[in-house]
Amino acid sequence: MKKYLFIALTMLCLTACQTEQKPETLSLDQKSALRTCLMNESLAAVQNGTAFTADLSELAQSIAKSCVKKQALQNLGLDDESAAWAQNILSSVATNK
């Protein structure tokens, strides 16, 4: 049952993402990264039970938007920069305690 739900959720995510992004604007690496994110987020939703309690269409849209945002930040190089900022903030907080 979980396997079928996971497959359905993944297909919904891929479909939702396809309507958000024009496929011709993404490179093969970007498409692969986006699909990987969609698969990971969908699997996480199945494992934590969210997929069983939420509307699948809304969950698929949420996962797709999250992955598109993550990929956009990665493409801009902000993922590494924001990780460095977060580390600096955590270091500052830890030294002030």
The Cα 43–Cα 27 span in angstroms is: 24
CA distances (Å), origin 82, targets 73, 78, 79: 9, 6, 5
The Cα 85–Cα 44 span in angstroms is: 26
Dihedral (Cα; 30, 81, 41, 12), 10-degree rounding: -40
Nearest to 37 by CA among 4, 3, 8, 62: 62
Residues 64-81 pLDDT 10s: 999 999 888 887 877 777
The pLDDT of residue 55 is: 84
Compute the mean pLDDT over every residue in the chain, rounded to the nearest whole number.
79
Q: For residue 4, what pLDDT band results from cuts at 50, 70 and 90? A: low
Q: What are phi and psi of 22, to 5 degrees?
A: -80, 120
